[in-house]
Amino acid sequence: MKTILGLGSKSGRLALAAFMAAALAAGCAKKEGDPAGAVGANDRKPPEISTEPVTLTVFNSSMGDPLFQNAIVIPLRNKYPHITIEMIKKGKGSMMEDLIAAGSVPDIIFGDNSGDIPVYRELDVLSDLMPYIKKYGFELNKFDPVVLSSVQANFPSGQIWMLPSSVNIATLHYNRDIFDKFGVPYPKDGMTWDETVDLARRVTRMDGGVQYAGFDFANNVLLPYNQLSAPMVNAQTMKAAVNTDQWKKIFDTMKRFYEIPGNDWGKGGDAFLKSKTLAMYAGTSMFGSLPDATKNGLNWDVVALPSFPDAPKTTIQLFAPLLGVSKTSKHQDQAFLAVAHLLSEEGQRDNVRQGRPSALNNADIKQQFGKDVEVLQGRNAGAFTYSKLAATPQAVTKYDSAAFPIIRDKFREAAVGGKDVNTALKEAEEAINKEIEKRKNQ
């Protein structure tokens, strides 16, 4: 028996209320007609789980081989010895659309909650997981409520089509040596952006013929997944949603860094990791690059992402890999059980220890973060669990990917080109609407 396990790469209150009601029913209630083994149905015999040998062919679009082995193959092999994993790399002739055309839609579909979800919605490839959540007693209340509500914002009321296998957390990495050189106190958890701007001013200096910059940020993360939960496109009207007070606050706050003489735009990861001339860099974890940088003399640490006064202790919105089950799969039970194990406390604990933040609302697991990440030892691992996720108030749209480059470019024009923020946002609104209309007519 061969099945395909596919692995690929941002609503309102009514939907959330309906979802939570459904989740409560799945997690706590016992209803007439519920499948055997539903949560709460303790007087019924749990469903039998087949141990017939099965090969799961895994479509891997982005994971490196070592991570794929550690995050997918080994956990499933240990839990289900009867399952054999075969990996298929995404490439020419093996895209999701190719698999659909060939009639071999993956049993399990992996993707992120930005560009992939709109595609999966349009392709109509995902199955509602609620029947299996009930059948196998999978507890939804173990997830962070913000994570669940953010996922549900993307799907019809009362259904769950995908669940997160981890989350990405944005933090602030900093170079200790630069702060020591200029006698400036290190950054700390719980800072505001105003405090961070002040630090950036104090460490942006020319010294010994070297220009040191105070701050830069991963704009591809902190803008689209911003801490104020500001959308780029209105999911109801499919119009630009950027000419707002929220976006004005984001632009006004972040552009202050680039008004500091010597703190130029685009210093980025290389200036932090390689030339070691950038004092602070805000973005997601860099565990893949930090070992080499540390060996080459980077003396670094990390703190929680600075926040806005009206959204304290808040990091970015949900930016996560999600797992779902194909609606045409002939082996949906096996597929769901594989997903369920990867999202279980057992499956998540090892992930967390290896530096992949969990979507579970479990303090014990969170405290294990980074325990097996050598480069994090002796550093502030608590930065990755200090803040809560910002809410995701609406579904990501298929036009978000078109809106982001426009937002980024208009921010750059305001930050380093001297353009008035109000003008930049108005131009962004017009350009996004024009691009949406163009795509609608294609």
CA geometry: angle at 108 spanning 368 and 138, to 5°?
Answer: 55
- 375 occurs within a structural domain: no
CB 20 within 8 A of CB 157: no
Return phi, psi of residue 359, to 5°. -85, 0
Separation between Cα atoms, residue 222 and residue 139, nearest integer Å: 31
Q: Are residues 38 and 147 in the same domain?
A: yes
Lookup: tokens for 382? 């608590």
Q: Residue 313's pLDDT is what?
A: 97
Same domain, yes or no: 66 and 25: yes
268, pLDDT greater than 70: yes
Sorted by sequence, the CB contacts under 8 Å of residue 359 that are 6+ apart come out as 143, 144, 147, 163, 164, 165, 166, 167, 320, 343, 348
Nearest to 154 by CA among 384, 392, 395: 395
CATH number of the domain at 141, please. 3.40.190.10
* 12 has pLDDT over 60: no
Looking at the structure, tell me whether residues 270 and 299 fall in a common domain: yes
- Reported as a pLDDT band with limits 50, 70 and 90, residue 112 is confident
d(CA 184, CA 181): 8
How many separate domains does the chain show? 2
215 and 360 co-located in one domain? no
H/E stretch holding 15 reads helix 13-28
Q: Does a structural domain hold residue 93?
A: yes
What is the pLDDT, as a whole number, of residue 226? 97
Q: Specify whether 300 is located in the same domain as 328.
A: no
Instruction: Collect all residues with Cβ–Cβ distance below 8 Å to 79 and sequence separation of at least 6.
Output: 341, 346, 347
Could you list the residue range(s) of the whole structural domain that residue 429 is in?
A: 171-317+385-440
Highest mean pLDDT of the ranges 59-68, 203-212, 337-346, 351-360: 203-212
Q: At 101, which helix (H) or strand (E)?
A: helix 96-101
10 and 55 part of one domain: yes
pLDDT, tens digit, 9 for 90 and up, residues 24-51: 344 443 333 343 334 444 445 668 778 8
> Which pair of structure tokens corresponds to residue 80?
């289900």
Answer yes or no: is pLDDT of 2 > 70.
Answer: no
Q: Is residue 254 part of a domain?
A: yes
**160 shares its domain with 231:** no
What average pLDDT does the segment 214-230 reach? 97
- Among 354, 309, 283, 390, which Cα is nearest to 75's? 354
| pLDDT confidence of residue 130 | 94
Report the number of secondary-structure helices (H) and strands (E) in the chain: 18, 13
Other beta carbons within 10 Å of 36: 12
Q: 93-102, 118-127, 171-180 — which one is most confidently predicted on average?
A: 171-180
| More reliable by pLDDT, 197 or 102 | 197
* Interval 410-440: pLDDT, tens: 999 999 999 999 999 999 999 999 999 999 9
Q: Which of 368, 397, 399 is nearest to 384 (CA)?
A: 368
Residue type, 355: G
Q: Are residues 139 and 124 in the same domain?
A: yes
Q: How far apart are CA 238 and CA 240, in angstroms?
A: 7
DSSP helix/strand/coil, 350 = helix
Whether residue 376 lies inside any domain: the answer is no
Shared domain check, 34 and 13: yes
- SS3 at position 230: coil
Q: Examine residue 235 and state whether it is found in any structural domain, yes or no.
A: yes
DSSP 257: H
Whether 307 and 326 map to the same domain: the answer is no
User: pLDDT tens across 225-259, in order?
Assistant: 999 999 999 999 999 999 999 999 999 999 999 99
Q: Are residues 72 and 216 in the same domain?
A: no
Average pLDDT over all residues of the chain: 87
Q: 69 in a domain, yes or no?
A: yes
Mean pLDDT to the nearest integer, 326-351: 90
Q: Which has more confidence, 107 or 169?
A: 169
Q: In what order do the strands lie in the sheet with 83-89?
A: 83-89, 54-60, 2-7, 108-112, 321-325, 162-164
pLDDT at 6 over 60: no
Tens-place pLDDT, residues 113-154: 888 888 888 889 999 999 999 999 999 999 999 999 999 898
List the beta bridge partners of residue 319: none
Whether residue 186 is contained in a domain is answered as: yes
pLDDT of residue 251: 98
Residue 300 clears pLDDT 90, i.e. is over it: yes
**Is 60 inside any structural domain?**
yes
pTM of the model: 0.86
pLDDT (tens digit, 9 = 90+) per residue, 360-405? Answer: 999 999 999 999 999 999 999 999 999 999 999 899 999 999 999 9
Residue 345 is predicted with a pLDDT of 93
Q: Is the pLDDT of residue 198 over 60?
A: yes
Compute the chain's Rg from CA coordinates.
Answer: 23
> What is the per-residue pLDDT for 45?
65
Mark whether 254 and 344 lie in a shared domain.
no
